[in-house]
Amino acid sequence: PALCLGSLSQNQNTYDGLTRIKNVQQIEMGKARMTPWYFSPYPQELCSLPVIYICEFCLKYLKSNNCLKRHKIKCKLFHPPGNEIYRKNNISVFEIDGRKNKNYAQNLCLIAKLFLDHKTLYYDTDPFLFYVMTEYDQFGLHMVGYFSKEKESSEDYNVACILTLPCHQKKGYGRLLIEFSYLLSQVEGKLGSPEKPLSDLGLLSYRSYWSNAVLEALIQYLDSPTESPPSLTILELCDRLCMKKEDVISTLQHLNLIHYYKGQYIICLSNEIIDQHRKSMFRRKVRIDEKYLQWQPKDWSKRGKW
């Protein structure tokens, strides 16, 4: 059976030890050949082959390059299924319903499991939405990464699982995916957060995004005409960033910006921190631009929406 990946959580006690053993030697997807890091439950007859070939548009897995060539003649997709909800320049994001596009969602999860450890395995993709980021060229829209989220999350989690394909890492796509997840939370009018606890790698990625987002919001506030002395509460900062209170506080503590002074907690920003942040943001060439989002949230509590 195919699967859906759960959270970025580390504490998954139900893992069978055998599933921690890497079972796929290599996969070929588009122009990239990648070496998996972890186990993924592909059919056993494919796992014995040196390479599993994957259609980069529909994500169907095949046993040989000849099979892939024959499949390409019949496959009419040049982009992910679902709705294109964002496009700016050569970057697009597609929203894919795990119920309406079950085969694609299941195949996506199989790929993701090759590169993500400590995941809960679900054998039903219906409760999930998948947001696939693509890069456009003359041959189509090629997947660079994705994140999933539950249609209904009691904790308002805005990400269940997130991955940038190894062949597209170190290009800033991971940060773009996180940024996009918070843009969706903003449109929903919610404070979002990834499922907890985070893996070490997940925490590293989110800590970087949160640090930049918090510093940017604080510097923008200081640059705007405000009362003197400036006054900004933690809750106001949460609302500006659509971040949960615990994530904002942990980020301020990580950056060592919170200090106790004359009976109250204050946020201290040095000129050195401001300069470092501005240099860092200047190097970022690609950002998510909310003007290019074409999306309305659905009320998934009404089962008719499913």
Active site residues: 195
Number of H helices, E strands in the chain: 8, 15
Angle at alpha carbon of residue 150, lines to 147 and 152, rounded to 5°: 150
Q: How far apart are CA 75 and CA 86, in angstroms?
A: 24
* Helix locations, the chain, DSSP H: 44-47, 65-74, 102-113, 173-188, 200-223, 234-241, 245-254, 271-283
Residue from 153, 281, 141 nearest 212 by CA = 281
Separation of first and last alpha carbons in the chain:
22
Hunting for tokens 């933690």 — which residue is that? 234
